[in-house]
């Protein structure tokens, strides 16, 4: 009887710890921070110099805002992380690449 009780106690402790590790801790990426990063990429000319990343970031940012308005914070955080990453990449590319002038 004691062995069964100890086994159940150990199993429930592991299940509790596994459940706690699966909890989504608040995202470290802020919406305002991502908006500012996107605006910086826009000012740096990312729409011309890095259009794929720039427009992906724009779409992800709009989707994140939409998800937050609808109350789905998990999806909002997901799209916000993608928007932040694409905005950062677009900004870096805009700073790195020179604008090609067409004649």
Nearest to 83 by CA among 28, 35, 18, 11: 35
Q: CA-to-CA distance for 54 and 85, rounded, in angstroms?
A: 10
Q: CA-to-CA distance for 7 and 96, rounded, in angstroms?
A: 59
What average pLDDT does range 15-20 have in this prediction? 57
User: What are the tokens at 11?
Assistant: 């199993």
Nearest to 81 by CA among 96, 67, 97, 92: 67
For residue range 36-78, what is the model confidence (pLDDT) as tens digits?
999 999 999 999 999 999 999 999 999 999 999 999 999 999 9
Per domain, the residue ranges of the chain are 45-95
pTM: 0.68
């Amino acid at each position: 009887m004691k062995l069964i009780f100890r086994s159940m106690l150990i199993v429930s402790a592991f299940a509790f710890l596994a459940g706690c590790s699966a909890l989504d801790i608040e995202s470290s990426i802020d919406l305002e921070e991502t908006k500012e990063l996107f605006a910086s990429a826009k000012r740096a000319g990312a729409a011309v110099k890095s259009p794929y990343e720039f427009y992906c970031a724009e779409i992800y940012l709009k989707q994140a805002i939409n998800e937050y308005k609808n109350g789905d914070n998990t999806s909002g955080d997901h799209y916000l992380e993608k928007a932040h990453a694409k905005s950062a990449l677009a900004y870096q590319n805009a700073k790195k690449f020179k604008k090609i002038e067409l004649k």
